[in-house]
Structure 1
Amino acid sequence: MNTSNDLLPHALQHAPLIARVTPPLLTAALSVSWARDETEVREAQALRYQVFAVEMGARLSPPKGAPAGLDVDLFDAYCEHLLVRAGGMAGEPGPVVGTYRVLTPAAAKRAGGLYSDTEFDLTRLRALRPRLVEIGRSCVHADHRSGGAILALWGALTEFVSRNGMDAIIGCASVSMRDGGHFAASLWKQIAATHLAPIDCQVRPRLPLPVEHLRQDLAVEPPALIRGYLRCGAKLMGEPAWDPDFNSADLPLLVRTADLPARFRRTAA
């Protein structure tokens, strides 16, 4: 049986790039901090379950023995987990309403690769990988998607990459396919027209979304999390991958630290 310490995220026990020493960042009634123990990681996983499984209908495949009601996968143990909390009562921490997980280059080596490797051929990013941070499992509670929680998450992320000397951030931004994929295909077409990465940073999906069989002419508004990427100077690295288990299309996005807008660079300074 695992002890309590065995269940702590591997990155929090061993990684040299520790972000939790940063004082919590305050944004209006929201507070941002890094998970310090198993209990706080479980709070993030519970929010992920609510958003992905309950709200989006994802078919999760947690490791054997994982508690019910949590979104848990094998990468969690190697990641730092960023939390946004709503205001609490009487000095008590409020509920987790937003989260990202962060996989550093050193932790990715221990994990055997990036999560993005399971969805995309990242061969062209080989030169970036020693200073490439992966973010993922991003979600925000439905009551907090107006922008404040996402800005708070990105403020902490940019501070983290600057503090640790990282050159770039990679992530897979998920788009629901409840309409059969037409929204996702149209969003891909729209973003690619203005934010496509140069050829040396483009990747290929292992299971492509069949965009050629879907409508690509819908007038669509990017979801809030993707708008957060684009505000930070993200580039789209290629066509979306299809994730049947999460019933989503995943857009591969890359943010170079040097391309961050001035307001985020000031946050990270």
Structure 2
Amino acid sequence: MPDTTLTPPLAAAPIEDRAGALSPRAPLTAAPAAEAALLVAWARDEDEVREAQRLRHEVFAGEMGARLEVPAGTPPGLDVDRYDAFCEHLLVRAPGEADEPGPVVGTYRVMTPAAAARAGGLYSDNEFDLGPLTPLRATMVELGRSCVHPDWRSGGVVMALWGALAAFMVRNGLETMVGCASVGMRDGGHAAASLWRRLEATHLAAPEWRVTPRLALPVDELRQDLPVDAPPLLKGYLRCGARVLGAPAWDPDFKTADLPVMLRLADLPARYRRHFIGA
């Protein structure tokens, strides 16, 4: 599940807290001052969800060469799967012209605990045995299908997304985020295996939270000594206090190695808490 880490033609469901009560949607808010013209908001209808799916297709299929399996009848040029209809879709828009909204240049897909129950589980359940996380599920969201348009990868879009996500978590009484940090496998997986070995020594979660891949990357058959740096998004997660939950899964369709990652709001360093949630 790429995150560069996760529809039938339906609008996104309302935002819910852990009790299933509706929570007010976030209004349009500006991104950080460096890119103040960006706007971030939750998708409100099918057309806006389609915009996110179109950007995802452009990045995942067009740029990364992913093999996307979409439901029958899906219009061309969209990345769609069965989980989209259950999720909230967070959008960042570039500046528009006159009264017209700008194009979507960044997106995240967010699945709440109530939505996961309706969907029969998380997308990540397909890649990992998440049994050890059962005690956290009542206040745990899954982040997925994160991507940013190649012309807007200076950092402002991701900061706008993260700010809205943090506010969403606080507003809905949620405490934990999980998802997959994807590493490309153009080199056959050697970089991913090397990165895992480094993170295993520095950022591995406590034993009680560790999960198992269903289709494991064959790390022992790959080089594990390359001087690999973490991808920018994963590096950002780690700076915010995220932990890697175990060895990477291999996703043949997206041609990535997926590292399971967990971030708890309680683990946010003080400076990030102040920046994202003002606490």
Q: Does 1:244 align with 2:244?
A: no
The answer as to whether partners of 2:127 and 2:214 remain within 8 angstroms in 1 is yes
Q: Any residues of structure 2 matched to 1:53-92 within 5 Å, and which?
A: 53-92=61-100
Q: Does 1:234 align with 2:239?
A: no
- How far apart are the structure 1 equivalents of 2:204 and 2:39? 33
Deviation at 1:18, TM superposition (A): 4.3
Q: What residue number does 1:26 align with? A: 31
- How far apart are the structure 2 equivalents of 1:97 and 1:9? 19
User: What 5-or-longer segments of structure 1 have no aligned partner?
Assistant: none
| 1:100-152 residue CA offsets vs partner (Å, 9 max, x unmatched) | 00000000000000111000001111100011011001111112222211111
The answer as to whether partners of 1:154 and 1:228 remain within 8 angstroms in 2 is no
Q: Could you tell me the percent identity over the aligned residues? A: 63
Q: Which letter does structure 2 place at the counterpart of 1:61?
A: E
The answer as to whether partners of 1:25 and 1:156 remain within 8 angstroms in 2 is no
Question: Do the aligned partners of residues 20 and 212 (structure 1) sit closer, same or farther apart at CA in structure 2, a change above 3 Å counting?
Answer: same
- How far apart are the structure 2 equivalents of 1:34 and 1:25? 13
- How far apart are the structure 2 equivalents of 1:70 and 1:242? 23
Q: Does 1:191 align with 2:196?
A: no
Paired residues, what number?
265
Q: SS in structure 1 opposite 2:145?
A: strand
Q: Does 1:165 align with 2:173?
A: yes
User: What 5-or-longer segments of structure 2 have no aligned partner?
Assistant: 1-7
- How far apart are the structure 2 equivalents of 1:85 and 1:119? 31
- How far apart are the structure 2 equivalents of 1:57 and 1:231? 29
Q: What residue number does 2:132 align with? A: 124
Question: Do the aligned partners of residues 174 and 85 (structure 1) sit closer, same or farther apart at CA in structure 2, a change above 3 Å counting?
Answer: same
Q: What residue number does 1:8 align with? A: 11
Higher relative contact order (CA 8 A, sep 6+): 2
- How far apart are the structure 1 equivalents of 2:26 and 2:105? 21
Q: SS in structure 2 opposite 1:174?
A: strand
Q: Which letter does structure 2 place at the counterpart of 1:99?
A: T
| 1:183-224 residue CA offsets vs partner (Å, 9 max, x unmatched) | 111121222221110000100000000111111111122212
Question: Do the aligned partners of residues 65 and 217 (structure 1) sit closer, same or farther apart at CA in structure 2, a change above 3 Å counting?
Answer: same
- How far apart are the structure 2 equivalents of 1:43 and 1:181? 32
Among candidates 118, 121, 130, match of residue 113 of structure 1: 121
- Name the TM-score, length of structure 2 as normaliser: 0.90
- How far apart are the structure 2 equivalents of 1:59 and 1:91? 37
- Name the TM-score, length of structure 1 as normaliser: 0.93
The answer as to whether partners of 2:196 and 2:248 remain within 8 angstroms in 1 is yes
Q: What residue number does 1:264 align with? A: 272
